[in-house]
């Protein structure tokens, strides 16, 4: 286990995949067009990344204004009035969270606001290799499949065997970076998730671990898989050969209510080639299954502690239909000749705020 990788210290300008990722991020996901004014609010630790965004946007004849996220709340919010689109360039924390939600309340996403979590060179280079339209279509079709069979099964070569009954009364989330319903667009893309109490089986977590508390060790778990035993939507036992990893998870789960499964998710971005050592949202978007546990009350930040357990290679099925196998999604999920499904379920477009 090593320290979290300080990959934001890399120089972005020399990396061609970073340039391509930046263009996809700004022009496809954020929808920046020539003549628009872009406001970048950046964590000071990722100033170099924001600088590269500025250069790319200006080459496309956009006007760019850049401020530090350390600026006081009222100064940042005042600047939103003078832009067409705002991008919060974050590292491991969300800045001015409540103020942005208050600002967007009652507005029809004018200006458009997006928040890029874990804005490292790695995230931009690896997280934006798939178009928004592709991932949006894939997300909706996976939800359609899950609802059609009312159940999902997850197995993996490492020993995962999990049965999930879909809760038809629960809301689903599809995140593709869209600013909607009073919430900023969440980036990097993409995943779907929902909640159900009907989760049973064993999860051998050999991908990565993620937490909104900031996981303090190497996020990757391939060398130290974590085995979770789950019964009726509750984690009942944790096993890991790395004792510090096991201790930290057990300490988290010991918080009253924190051993409850609050999220079943599928990362749908198969452009991400590998897990990151750093605990960033990118890992959750990796094409695989993840299980989120903890307290998830968005109205009370003190009751909002969360850990995601992300599998490596796994197979996800809905009845006889294989959604994901060996990192590849079923081709018919991406079929562009069919119209998008109409889902008989509540759907929201954000998960992290």
Partner 1 sequence: MSEDNDVTEFRRRIAAGEAQWLIDIQGARSVRLVLTKKQQDVLRRATKQTFTAATLVLQSVHDDSPVRSALCNLEPGDDASRQ
Binder among 297, 332, 335, 340 for partner 1 (CB under 8 A): 297
> Taking CB under 8 A as the rule, does residue 212 contact partner 1?
yes
- Stretch binding partner 1 (CB under 8 A), from 41-49, 73-81, 333-341, 345-353: 345-353
CA angle at 233 for the pair 222 and 221, rounded to the nearest 5°: 10
What is the distance between the alpha carbons of residues 126 and 305, in angstroms, rounded to a whole number?
Answer: 27
CA 47 to chain centre: 22
> Taking CB under 8 A as the rule, does residue 306 contact partner 1?
yes
Binder among 39, 230, 248, 282 for partner 1 (CB under 8 A): 248
> Taking CB under 8 A as the rule, does residue 55 contact partner 1?
no
> Taking CB under 8 A as the rule, does residue 170 contact partner 1?
yes
> Taking CB under 8 A as the rule, does residue 305 contact partner 1?
yes
Per the CB < 8 A criterion, the answer to whether 21 and 124 are in contact is yes
Least CB distance to partner 1 at residue 200 (A):
12
> Taking CB under 8 A as the rule, does residue 231 contact partner 1?
no
What is the distance between the alpha carbons of residues 48 and 40, in angstroms, rounded to a whole number?
Answer: 12
> Taking CB under 8 A as the rule, does residue 338 contact partner 1?
no
Token readout for 232 is 């009726």
Token readout for 91 is 């590292």
Determine how many CB atoms are found less than 10 A away from the CB of residue 223.
10
> Taking CB under 8 A as the rule, does residue 141 contact partner 1?
no
Binder among 66, 129, 274, 303 for partner 1 (CB under 8 A): 303
Token readout for 175 is 């995140």
> Taking CB under 8 A as the rule, does residue 129 contact partner 1?
no
Determine how many CB atoms are found less than 10 A away from the CB of residue 298.
10
Token readout for 46 is 């990722």
Per the CB < 8 A criterion, the answer to whether 269 and 286 are in contact is yes
The residue count for binding partner 1 (CB under 8 A) is: 57
Query: How do beta strands 112-116 and 85-89 pair?
Result: parallel
Binder among 13, 78, 340, 346 for partner 1 (CB under 8 A): 346
Q: Is the dihedral of CA 279, 280, 284, 285 positive or negative?
A: negative
> Taking CB under 8 A as the rule, does residue 159 contact partner 1?
no
Q: Which residues in 31-50 contact partner 1 (CB under 8 A)?
A: none
Token readout for 263 is 């999220």
> Taking CB under 8 A as the rule, does residue 252 contact partner 1?
yes
Using CB under 8 A, list all residues that contact partner 1: 1-4, 90, 92-94, 97, 117, 165, 167, 169-171, 173, 183, 193, 195-198, 211-217, 233, 244, 248, 251-252, 255, 257, 260, 262-263, 292, 294-298, 301-306, 346, 348, 350-353
């Amino acid at each position: 286990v090593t320290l979290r990788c300080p990959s934001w210290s890399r120089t972005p300008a020399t990396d061609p995949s970073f340039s391509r990722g930046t263009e996809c991020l700004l022009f496809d996901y954020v929808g920046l067009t020539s003549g628009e004014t872009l406001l970048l609010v950046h964590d000071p630790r990722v100033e170099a990344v924001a600088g590269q965004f500025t250069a790319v946007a200006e080459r496309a004849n956009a006007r760019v204004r850049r401020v530090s996220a350390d600026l006081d709340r009222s100064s940042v919010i005042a600047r939103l009035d003078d832009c067409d689109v705002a991008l919060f360039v974050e590292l491991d924390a969300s800045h001015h969270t409540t103020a942005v939600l208050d600002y967007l309340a009652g507005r029809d996403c004018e200006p458009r606001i997006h928040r890029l979590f874990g804005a490292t060179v790695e995230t931009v280079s690896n997280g934006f290799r798939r178009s928004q339209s592709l991932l949006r279509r894939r997300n909706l079709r996976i939800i359609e499949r899950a609802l059609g069979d009312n159940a999902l099964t997850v197995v993996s070569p490492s020993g995962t065997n999990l049965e999930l009954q879909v809760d038809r009364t629960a809301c689903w989330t599809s995140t593709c970076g869209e600013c909607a319903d009073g919430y900023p667009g969440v980036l990097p893309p993409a995943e779907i998730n929902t909640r159900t109490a009907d989760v049973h089986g064993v999860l051998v977590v050999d991908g990565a671990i993620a937490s909104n508390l900031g996981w303090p060790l190497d996020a990757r778990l391939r060398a130290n898989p974590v085995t979770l035993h789950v019964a009726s939507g509750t984690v009942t036992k944790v096993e890991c050969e790395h004792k510090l990893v096991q201790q930290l998870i057990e300490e988290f789960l010991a918080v009253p209510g924190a051993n409850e499964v609050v999220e079943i998710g599928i990362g749908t971005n198969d452009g991400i080639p590998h897990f990151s050592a750093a605990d960033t949202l990118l890992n959750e978007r990796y094409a695989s299954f993840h299980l989120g546990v903890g307290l998830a009350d968005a109205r009370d930040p003190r009751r909002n502690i969360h850990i995601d357990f992300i599998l490596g290679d796994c197979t996800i099925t809905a009845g006889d239909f294989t959604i994901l196998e060996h990192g590849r999604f079923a081709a018919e999920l991406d079929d562009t000749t069919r119209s998008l499904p109409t889902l008989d379920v509540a759907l929201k477009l954000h998960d992290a705020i």
